[in-house]
A and B are shown apart, each in its own frame.
Chain A
Amino acid sequence: MRIAVFLFMALLTAGLVYILDTTRLLPAPLGKLLSPQQGVWQNAEPVNNNFSDELKFPKLKGKAHVYLDENLVPHVFAENGDDLYFIQGYLHAKFRLWQMEFQVRAAAGRLSETLGAGDNNAILNYDRGMRRLGMVYGAENAMPEIEGNPITKSITDSYTDGVNAFIEDIDESQLPLEYKLLGQNPEKWNTLKTALLFQYMALDLAGHEDDFEHHNAASVFPKEVFEKLYPLYPDSLDPIIPRGTPFMQPGLALNTPATADSLFYPIKDTIGIRQTKPDKDNGSNNWAVAGSKTKSGRPILCNDPHLGLNLPSLWFEMQLHSPTHNMYGVSLPGAPGIIIGFNDYCAIGLTNAGRDVRDYYEMKFKDDSRKEYQFNGRWKASTFRIEEFKIKGAAAYYDTVVYTSLGPVMYDASFTGQNRVKNNKNYVVYWLAHHPGNTPYVIHQLNQAKNYDDYVEALRYFVVPAQNFLFASKTGDIAIWQNGKFPARWKGQGDFVMPGTDSAYLWQGFIPHDENPHLMNPSRGFLSSANQLPVDSAYPYYLGFGSDYPVYRGVIINRMLSKMNNITPDDMQKMQVDNYNVFAETARPVLLKYIKEDKLNAEESKYLSRLKKWNLRNDPAEGGPVIFNVWFDSLENAVWGDEFAKIKGVYKWPQESTLIDNIIKDSAFSFIDNINTPDKETINDVVTIAFQHAVPSLQQLERDDVLSWAKFKGTGIRHLLRLPALSRMNLPVGGGSHIINATKDFHGPSWRMVVQLTDETEAYGIYPGGQSGNPGSRYYDSFVNTWAAGKYKKLWVMKENETADKRVKWKMSFTK
């Protein structure tokens, strides 16, 4: 009896331990998680934590010191480059390990492994999409380039050793919080993971095109209508290279396939596949003003890349110093070097080029086995890649991906993207990022650049994602290159899905590097880019449709810069956070011109007069931008909704600038009429009806107390796992799409930087996050309030003899 009672109690105890150690019964292993000696309490970093340390690693070649300042920014001083990158890897891991691994798992289509397949297999579907897009394939193709170059081989090896040195040193209780929440352990780092991180950036910045949507639109609209809806050169365009700048004669002659025109207008089929796309506003601002326009007489370079706003932040700020090297700026945890920043000679800022470097081809296979595909009248053998997906809490999933000489079959009967639709066709994705080149080399060379020639030489090796590389130097030069590898396209190539049976439809070559759009020291005294088209129609190559090429930010930046003189870094900071809405400046007079005010009731008139009084600034407390946005959305719906409903499959409405440009040009624009009514609506009818439809929404917003811009927009910085508890939501921030301060809900300026290239560099910067990736650290989000207030911190380029400076809070020594 006693034994039975004992066994019962012992089993009860063991059962409780089991329940508290697993997720079998509870959503979280509460015992493991809450144990003060092992669980999340260990991540409660003391607010007065001492980060000083003395570390020994046999792989180091010499001595090095890291000085951490009051913002936890490391200033790394090493005796040689290998140690510098080793320590960068170590620090990235120390402060951002979980994020580094998560981003790479996302790139490699391995999220199901730790998160499970998700609702309706959404996560598994995402993973399959990444593999089928060839994300891992592209990273693998980069490896011989990176490892075949002795410079980058040694950089990436040192970096990897640094990351792994940290991983080897920590015990389970010291793991980042997210590992504990997910019940996961860190994997060792390697160079392939760095390559995958660059693939992730390539996808974010060079993975946007609307080939399927355009394909479907061309199945319904005739050519001349299509060109009105998707103009190649918007009327309001102010290109990066000013109009009238002469271009070189093209070095390449291209042959348009004879069948192209008859094939595309009209298109005979439509596509239902819904792709996962990066945010359409992944873009940025950068500008540089020459000494002729500044108070100091030296150039000032400014940059703010607009990306998804996450915690931990995409960026990690640091200074890297060696005898040959002194670079300050932001790095990507997972990659060696500084991506955006400045050294003792020059500064570099990036915005996205957004050019179309991805096409789809419809393949014809001999039979259902898909072992052979038709190409130039012959049958060619395909290969198969079997992708394994480990799934948390379920059996592994296997997916067979067919590879052709063009690339992988991304969409077929078994995979149709975000949705399930019937599809019997095989679409191959042909993407520049399948052959991404040696990105770490370019970063390293740019970090060491001393002058314009070094900068241009480094750019020659850059493939993807193409950027507008802005340059300013202490010698007074400013320059910009839209740079990357670009397919030289015949007119119309890649706008729609193309036949994969004929080599005439493949890319015939790449635009020679010297013919990429670029400009140095222009007479107007400034350069800028804001993701608009780089050139006007005088450029000899076809640009096609890439990202949306938004026009308005470029217009306002150039307008402001051309009026400014005696510019100071302070003026530039104010400009980066400016909330003036040039899109509303263009559209509001048009809307007000056509609205029939006599048809409005008292309530409607109240909102209209509020809009009229608006100062065109998207400041946080303004109601005007809410009324304007809701009205414009309603107008788009009224104008496009009826005609686009004819399209079977996916489609995309034209840009906002296209709608307003069309109305300005032609108030009898055919899309104005609602084709579902017998009457012929005029522009006055449509604008008025759109406003009347908007008013009930506005009333509801007012009742909910969100008829003010910041509340309506709801800017937040979300944790990568989308856990609200670890995010910073509802920040009082203005700005938005089309505005220099391009802060949307979860997307916006991810790093604001202003650098004045005086003898002693004067630089300012801020990013919406914090240096530590640990949600239990005071440095997790310590920059967020400063960023949200539109303020900056002064960047300190530490000198070797400043070790006693009061800004140095902690010192880490590294020896072998």
Chain B
Amino acid sequence: MKFIVSVLLTALLAFAAGLYLPWWSIAIASFLVASVLYQKPLLSFLCGFTAIFLLWGILAWLRSAGNNHILAAKASLLILKTENPVLLILVTGLIGAVTGGLAAWSGTLFRRIIKK
């Protein structure tokens, strides 16, 4: 239950932050949630990972679907050297996810220092 709440909270906070702050605000959101809602380090990583993967993956998919994948076809060819919109959406999710996961992990470790 705590895991699901953390995931949702992280995603929500990251989304809100993204409206005003640069892309790396996802790291701040993951860090904050993980340092408030304590979980074991690995679980916390998974939590940040899942939250941002879902957030970025779904946002990218929504934009791309509304665009008939015109941009994703070109951008995947440009960035991944292969025309594959789905792959670009997955890569997008993964890049956000790893960033979010590591930040959440750091957040948990920070919490452990503060509250022994």
Contacts and interface: CB of A to CB of B under 8 A. Distances in A.
Contacts of B71: 40-41, 43-45, 177, 775-776
A87 B95 CA distance: 40
B1 interface: no
A25 to B, nearest CB: 13
Contacts, number: 125
B78 to A, nearest CB: 4
B84 interface: no
Interface residues of A, number: 43
A258 interface: no
Interface residues of B, number: 40
Given A37-B18, A725-B77, A726-B74, A44 B67 contact: yes
- The DSSP consensus for interface residues of chain B is helix
- The DSSP consensus for interface residues of chain A is helix
A13 B113 contact: no
B99 interface: yes
Given A2-B109, A13-B103, A36 B59 contact: yes
Interface stretch (A14-22, A53-61, A399-407): A14-22
Given A9-B106, A44-B63, A775-B74, A34 B113 contact: no
Interface string A23-52: 000001011111111111111111110000
B59 A726 contact: no
A44 B66 contact: yes
A3 interface: yes
B27 A778 contact: no
A3 B113 contact: yes
A39 to B, nearest CB: 7
A36 B95 CA distance: 11
Q: Which of A16, A36, A41, A776 has the most CB of B within 10 A?
A: A36
A39 B108 CA distance: 29
Nearest to A46: B66
A41 B102 contact: no
B92 A41 contact: yes
Contacts of A396: none
A602 interface: no
Contact of A32 (B23, B31, B59, B64): B23
A36 B18 CA distance: 9
A5 B31 CA distance: 15
B63 A41 contact: yes
A723 interface: yes
Contact of A36 (B27, B74, B92, B103): B92
A47 B56 contact: no
B78 A726 contact: yes
Interface in B57-116: 59-60, 63-64, 66-68, 70-72, 74-75, 77-79, 88, 91-92, 95-96, 98-99, 102-103, 105-106, 109-110, 112-113
Contacts of B102: 9, 12-13, 16
Contact of A37 (B23, B74, B77): B23
B112 A38 contact: no
B68 A47 contact: yes
B67 A47 contact: yes
Contacts of A778: 68, 70
Contacts of A777: 70
Interface in A362-396: none
Contacts of B96: 31, 34-35
A225 interface: no
Contact of B98 (A16, A39, A47): A16
Contacts of B113: 2-3, 6
A675 interface: no
B64 to A, nearest CB: 6
A575 B102 CA distance: 65
Contacts of B103: 13
Contacts of A2: 109, 112-113
Contacts of B99: 13, 16-17, 20, 31
Contact of B22 (A32, A41, A780): A32
Contacts of A724: 77
Given A2-B112, A16-B98, A776-B74, A33 B79 contact: yes
B74 A6 contact: no
B106 A41 contact: no
Interface of A: 2-3, 5-6, 9-10, 12-13, 16-17, 20-21, 28, 30-48, 177, 181, 723-726, 775-778, 780
Interface of B: 15, 18-19, 22-24, 26-27, 31, 56, 59-60, 63-64, 66-68, 70-72, 74-75, 77-79, 88, 91-92, 95-96, 98-99, 102-103, 105-106, 109-110, 112-113
The list of the 6 closest CB pairs from A to B, nearest first, reads A776-B71, A35-B23, A36-B59, A44-B67, A37-B18, A725-B77
15 contacts: A3-B113, A5-B109, A9-B105, A13-B103, A17-B27, A30-B79, A34-B92, A34-B95, A34-B96, A41-B59, A41-B63, A47-B68, A725-B74, A725-B77, A775-B70
